């Protein structure tokens, strides 16, 4: 068992071993562009306007060989298999994420259900995959979740839609359970999160009695989430189930703050990054100290938090490949964390979105906006890529 002290997140040789020279130089150029905040703001704003007017093809053509190739697996699971298998040769598994967002019709919900079902069955037959990600907003109308969050009664037609959606979700959870595949449930905006938390816990009561199948997601950039997490784990202990959770910092900061300002209520977001970091690290301490009936995915691009998790594991003499502790980063980002952890024997995953380019554009836009809002993240990625480009002597000028 490798010691956490052997992990060096500066080792770019290990971090980028899976990238060809072409992929490395392509990604270096892309991150040079992404590192320009003004360019990202202009580009995403323009792309969103074009999408609103139904002009998808030019946007897709521009993204396919660039950001789509860097951050996505492919248009389908079959297209993604090459990347999935390549990651696995470096002991990095994939978390499958059907990256289509913002759909609201019954036909869209059926397509999303079919895609998640297909992903679970794909995972059953591929050792490189044991987790499938899902967004319940791809299965339940946003408006219904808003009502449920506010404890407002549903109309008869709304209730019928919700019952159908819940049945779909329970069927997917049953399929995941039957095939020993974990199902991650993404967190959403604060004004629809409560019914999703309730639904996740209801699923855990049924499927997490012996092993972690259903994982909720906790966003620690919210002021109330650390207390929520501790209470949920304590309740799960009483109920005799494993509380499984993906720990993230958060993905909707600008939207949350803007809505709070518009509607004149206190923002649910932490006052600053330091408060978020402290909450995240405290969540790590609490969950790892309760790891017997808690399962976590340390989903972060933060090197300090990743290292802290390994230190906490070492202090408790937990094996590096503990079945209740996973690490995860987005495909195309923080390879220095993912591959160095995997090299040291930790259970490591890449979050791999896939789907038609035109349909995944909203995901790519959101990721670009989210990542540029994290201070220094793009500069850090660019620095690491530049170091490896120089180490391979691919370019003599910068």
Q: How far apart are CA 213 and CA 215, in angstroms?
A: 6
Instruction: Identify the pLDDT of residue 2.
Output: 46
Q: Residue holding tokens 């002021």?
A: 223
- pLDDT tens, N- to C-terminus, the chain (398 residues): 445 557 999 999 999 999 999 999 989 988 887 776 654 554 556 555 555 545 566 655 666 767 888 899 999 999 999 999 999 999 999 999 997 655 678 898 999 999 999 999 999 999 999 999 999 999 999 999 999 999 999 999 999 999 999 999 999 999 999 999 999 999 999 999 999 999 999 999 999 999 999 999 999 999 999 999 999 999 999 999 999 999 999 988 889 999 999 999 999 999 999 999 999 999 999 999 999 999 999 999 999 999 999 999 999 999 999 999 999 999 999 999 999 999 999 999 999 999 888 777 777 766 666 555 555 566 888 899 999 999 999 964 54
Distance of CA 361 to the CA centre of its chain: 16
Residues 6+ apart with CB under 8 A from 260: 266, 267, 268, 269
Gyration radius of the chain over CA positions: 20
Is the residue at 45 inside a domain? no
The token pair at 74 is 């492919």
Whether residue 379 is contained in a domain is answered as: no
Q: Which residue, among 310, 326, 340, has the nearest Cα to 130 in the 3D structure?
A: 326
On whether residue 187 sits in a domain, the answer given is yes
Give domain status of residue 372, yes or no. no
The number of folded domains in the chain is 1
Two tokens at 41?
């703001």
Q: Which CATH number is 280's domain given?
A: 3.20.20.220
What is the pLDDT at residue 190?
Answer: 97
Q: What is the distance between the alpha carbons of residues 217 and 247, in angstroms, rounded to a whole number?
A: 6
Q: Is residue 3 part of a domain?
A: no
pLDDT digits (tens, 9 = 90+) for 84-119: 999 999 999 999 999 765 567 889 899 999 999 999
Q: Is residue 368 part of a domain?
A: no
Residue 178, SS3? helix
Q: Of 296, 331, 337, 330, which Cα lies nearest the Cα of 313?
A: 296
**Residue 62: inside a domain:** no
Give residue 218's domain range: 75-359
CA dist., res. 137 & res. 144, Å (int) = 10
| Number of helices and strands in the chain (H, E) | 17, 8
Return the pLDDT at 1. Answer: 45
Q: What are the CB-based long-range contacts (under 8 Å, 24+) for 226-233?
A: 226/279, 226/282, 226/283, 228/197, 229/283, 229/286, 229/287, 230/286, 232/197, 232/201, 233/286, 233/287, 233/290, 233/293, 233/294
User: Alpha carbon 177 to chain centroid distance?
Assistant: 21
Cα atoms in the Cβ-side hemisphere of radius 13 Å centred on 159: 5
Residue labelled with tokens 């992903």: 119
Residue 89 in any domain: the answer is yes
Positions of E strands within the chain? 92-98, 129-134, 182-185, 214-219, 243-248, 294-299, 325-330, 348-354
pLDDT of residue 356: 86
Owner of token pair 């836009």:
365
Report pLDDT for 398. Answer: 46
CA distance 83 to 22: 15
Please state, in angstroms and as integers, the Cα–Cα distance from residue 18 to each residue in 8, 130, 142, 306, 322, following that order.
Answer: 17, 21, 39, 21, 25
């Amino acid at each position: 068992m490798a010691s956490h002290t052997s992990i060096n997140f500066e080792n770019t040789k290990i971090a980028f071993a899976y990238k060809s020279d072409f992929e490395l130089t392509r990604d270096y150029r892309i991150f040079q562009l992404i590192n320009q905040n003004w360019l990202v703001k202009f580009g995403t704003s323009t792309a969103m306007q074009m999408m609103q007017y139904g002009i998808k093809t030019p946007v897709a053509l521009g993204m396919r060989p660039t950001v789509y190739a860097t951050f996505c697996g492919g248009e389908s699971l079959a297209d993604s298999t090459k990347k999935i298998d390549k990651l696995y040769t470096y002991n990095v598994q994939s978390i499958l994420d059907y990256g289509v967002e913002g759909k609201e019709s019954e036909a869209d919900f059926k397509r999303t259900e079919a895609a998640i079902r297909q992903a679970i069955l794909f995972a059953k037959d591929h050792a490189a995959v044991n987790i499938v990600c899902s967004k319940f907003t791809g299965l339940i109308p946003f408006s219904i979740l808003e009502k449920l969050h506010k404890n407002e009664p549903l109309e008869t037609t709304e209730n019928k839609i919700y019952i159908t959606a819940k049945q779909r979700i329970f069927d997917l959870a049953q399929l995941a359970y039957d095939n020993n595949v974990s199902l991650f449930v993404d967190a959403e905006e604060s004004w629809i999160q409560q019914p999703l938390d309730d639904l996740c816990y209801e699923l855990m009561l049924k499927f997490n009695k012996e092993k972690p199948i259903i994982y909720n997601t906790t966003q620690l950039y919210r002021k109330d989430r650390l207390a929520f997490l501790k209470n949920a784990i304590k309740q799960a202990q009483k109920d005799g189930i494993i509380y499984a959770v993906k720990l993230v910092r958060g993905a909707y900061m600008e939207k949350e703050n803007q809505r709070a300002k518009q509607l004149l209520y206190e923002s649910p977001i932490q006052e600053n990054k330091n408060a978020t970091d402290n909450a995240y690290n405290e969540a790590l301490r609490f969950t790892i100290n309760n790891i017997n009936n808690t399962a976590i995915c340390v989903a972060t691009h933060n090197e300090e938090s990743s290292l802290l998790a390994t230190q906490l594991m070492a202090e408790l003499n937990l094996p590096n490949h503990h079945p209740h502790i996973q690490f995860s980063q987005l495909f195309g980002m923080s390879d220095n964390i993912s591959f160095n952890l995997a090299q040291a024997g930790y259970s490591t995953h890449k979050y791999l979105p896939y789907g038609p380019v035109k349909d995944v554009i909203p995901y790519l836009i959101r990721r670009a906006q989210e990542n540029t809002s994290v201070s220094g993240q793009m500069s850090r990625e660019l620095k690491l890529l530049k170091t490896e480009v120089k180490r391979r002597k691919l370019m003599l000028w910068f």
